[in-house]
Structure 1
């Protein structure tokens, strides 16, 4: 397909963000609320994680006026700090929503600053939903235009593209004209960062937090008259080429302003990298067939695409490794029969029988398998081999999670995150988000007294 020639990617995207109305995006509001509910579920699930608490201690002395909610806490911070913390906690457990074509986790970098800015400006739920839908569209479209090379080259695409969605959404909430929104997008291009090598560490979450905070920062700078190069994304020395990719402008613009990327969103049933979900599903099915013969497992072979092996054929040294490990996902599915937050926590990771089974797992590449699919073969001591293949795992677009599943996920998040927030209040608040006049009042009703 020949490349589409346009004067500026930033300006073309900004024109749509500035012109869109609630009527244009209202049909996507249900999916947006599902995404935001999942955002709260994952943020509550790690609200008191040592990583989040360390970040809070680091930022607290530097926070400005305490105007903004930190999810799962009574304490407020300024909008910049809250954006960072809420994006980190939403992304920390590898449990957030996923855009399948890019593997972007859309909500964390966009919902966090949108809610923070809306709270400080006392904006309405419809304004929040409109900005959120537009921001998700921008981050995922830019992701589409550089996928799959961008991620494969080592850029953490949720961070590097999430900042564009955050900047566009926040500029929209600030009421900036198209020119100002374009400048916010261009300013975001100067702050885009994050690498895949850091996925097994908390450094990954720092780049997601920065995408949220710096996207808000870009919008606020644009409001004050800061300018950016019109071709900051696609120019000869712009964002795309600097990061090693030629921007596919045609893919970026396909259906712009008419179809919405949030409609493709998916939600995880397991707190692990999405490419491992087929492995888990296959092992849960195999466990049912093996029954009481689990102690007879001699070897396990997992076959999948190059992406599966690149992301998950790794040793497990800690809980973060486990969430991106083929070997640990096999052990959870076969030995425990579950793959929730507890199964990826340190207490499970170090169990001797779990570690022993991980050693029996071998990963093999099969280029005929699509990304996200897996074939798992278990050989028993009797010589019997039992095989399960999963192409579309639970939570994928072919087998989506229901609303009740997301609500159960949020309730579990409140329990595992040891938060004193009410799950029922959060669920009710997100359900009626499109009818709320003041986001600040809504979020205040969710925070228990200090």
Structure 2
């Protein structure tokens, strides 16, 4: 019998996985991911982009069967998955797998919630399917990084579609062959471009990744098939979207070495590669013993990804969340970097705008991804410098459960759900024992 293709190997992995065999620490990490995901979605419940997505999907969908977080509304499963994915990813406050810069939960968790609510499935099945879907997304991301992203593909949306399809197929209990077909069908759906990241089109690609996962799994359940090597074949998705896939990155250690276990959670609502910039600037601000106006120039050094993502003009809130200059200005001038500090009033603040002009970005290829070195020169010629290799929230310095709960409370307050936050948090921590999602989704409505 020939060796399975990468697509087939993933199908066997998903269909053959048993929740009882998942290590306890990884089970807990699944709950942490869901806690962070739901909180981030609630934090944007009042945002015009989320409200617009809700209006569009309400006008297109079928029978309401799934909860839209924080909206007092229900949509058909694909519509709810779309809106919740948009909401979770909107502020760049969601989880991140640093090696690929995939945000796993936004595309993967919403379709699982929607299907489980529609079908009355248990919480443990949702957690299990999330780990499986997130693993598939991150492994395929590893196989095509860094060339895929460098060519302009938005990897959260593209690989997220694979993860959503695999997670949904696992949740529905499809066979190994059907899971592989679902993943292969997703290869015809996966799309999204980096050029659109500062624009609303990014929201569409992330939302589509979530709903396309449901679509792929449902088609596979109904007998649709896909090419056996839909990912790595000579005319498959990986070749079409970049280079030949590193098949070993997909298949080696499946079920024993978990990429989704390396998921991280952000203390700041900005791109993950800017967290080291913020941390370094906060450290320098405390060390300088000088007013911000005494700073004449700031140099931020980092790897090619940091510069490609963040050496940009800041025109709107989306730009600010992926800006080296704005991140440095917040750390050194304001001494904080909360949600409000990346909104339009902060972008338009003359003091911040003037400070951003003092910041220069520089390439240092020796620095690892996610690291930054910041040098501050004062008007009197004095210089101070610091390097941050492991920012807060990174794999080496993860946020604690208590910090994740505090972040959730802050987001819930932004979305108008502060009075229910404690109960919501308790329900998420208790998902593994929940017979269905009814209690949690009632709280989230």
Scaled to the shorter chain, the TM-score interval is over 0.9
The answer as to whether partners of 2:69 and 2:444 remain within 8 angstroms in 1 is: no
In the alignment, the residues of structure 2 paired with residue 273 and residue 410 of structure 1 have an alpha-carbon distance, to the nearest angstrom, of: 18
Instruction: Measure, in 1, the Cα distance between the counterparts of 2:77 and 2:326.
Output: 38
- 1:327 is aligned, of 318, 325, 328, to 325
What is the number of equivalent residue pairs in this alignment?
Answer: 443
| Alignment match, 1:21 | 18
Q: What does residue 173 of structure 2 align with?
A: 175
1:172-208: CA deviation from partner (whole Å, max 9, x where unpaired): 1112111111111111000000111111112112111
Contact 2:67–2:444 (Cα < 8 Å) also in 1: no
Cα deviation digits, residues 308-352 of structure 1 (max 9, x gap): 111100000011000000000011101111101010011111110
Per-residue deviation, residues 284-315 of structure 1 (Å, max 9, x unmatched): 01111223421111111111111111110000
Distance 2:16 2:214 in 1: 20
Out of 24, 30, 35, the position equivalent to 2:33 is 35
Match of 1:146 in 2: 144
Alignment equivalent of 2:200, drawn from 179, 199, 202: 202
Equivalences for residues 51-66 of structure 1 within 5 A: 51-66=49-64
1:130-279 maps to which residues of 2 (within 5 A)?
130-279=128-277
Does the 8 Å CA contact 1:83/1:112 hold for their aligned counterparts? yes
Per-residue Cα deviation, 1:17-47 (whole angstroms, up to 9, x for no partner)? 1111111225211000000000011101111
1:396 maps to which residue? 394
- Residue 9 of structure 1: CA displacement? 1.9
Q: Distance in 2 between matches of 1:244 and 1:293?
A: 48
Match status 1:113 vs 2:111: yes
CA distance in 1 between counterparts of 2:419 and 2:102 reads: 28
Mapping 1:233-382, distance limit 5 Å: 233-382=231-380
Q: Deviations over 1:73-93 (max 9, x none)?
A: 111111010000000100000
CA contact (8 A) 2:100 2:145 kept: yes
Work out the CA distance in 2 between the residues paired with 1:120 and 1:10: 28
Deviation of the 1:420 alpha carbon = 6.2
**RMSD between aligned residues:** 1.2
SS in 2 for 1:422: helix
SS in 1 for 2:22: helix
**Secondary structure of 1:376's aligned partner:** strand
- Residues 188-235 of structure 1, C-alpha deviations (whole Å, 9 max, x = no match): 000000111111112112111100000111101111111111111111
Task: Show structure 1 runs of 5+ residues with no match.
Answer: none
- The verdict on how the C-alpha distance between 1:374 and 1:420 changes in structure 2, with shifts beyond 3 A counting, is closer
1:137–1:262 Cα contact (<8 Å) kept = yes
Q: Is the 8 A contact 1:72 1:420 kept in 2?
A: no
Aligned partners of 2:259, 2:424: CA distance in 1, in Å?
25
| Deviations 1:137-167, CA, capped at 9 Å, x for gaps | 1111111111111111211111110111110
Matched residue, 1:91: 89
Matched, 1:7 2:4: yes
The residue aligned with 1:104 is: 102
Kept in 1: contact 2:68–2:80 (CA 8 A): yes
CA contact 2:420–2:443 (8 Å) conserved in 1? no
Write the distance in 2 (CA, Å) between the matches of 1:169 and 1:325: 33
Per-residue deviation, 1:57: 1.3
Give the distance between the partners of 1:215 and 1:130, measured in 2 at CA. 16
Q: What is the TM-score when the length of structure 1 is the normalising length?
A: 0.96
Q: 1:374 to 1:115 in 2, by over 3 A?
A: same
SS in 1 for 2:265: coil
Q: Which moved more, 1:275-284 or 1:433-442?
A: 433-442
| Contact 1:275–1:371 (CA under 8 A) maintained in structure 2 | yes
Q: Return the TM-score normalized by structure 2.
A: 0.97
Question: Partner of 1:377: helix, strand, or coil?
Answer: strand
The CA deviation at 1:421 is: 6.2
Structure 2 CA distance for aligned equivalents of residues 185 and 221 of structure 1: 11
In the alignment, the residues of structure 1 paired with residue 237 and residue 377 of structure 2 have an alpha-carbon distance, to the nearest angstrom, of: 49
What is the rounded CA distance, in whole Å, between the counterparts of 1:217 and 1:376 in structure 2? Answer: 46
Counterparts of 2:14 and 2:379 in 1: how far apart (Å)?
Answer: 61
Tell me how far apart the structure 1 counterparts of residues 56 and 107 of structure 2 sit (CA, whole Å). 20
CA deviations 1:254-282 (Å, max 9, x no partner) are: 21122222211111111111111110001
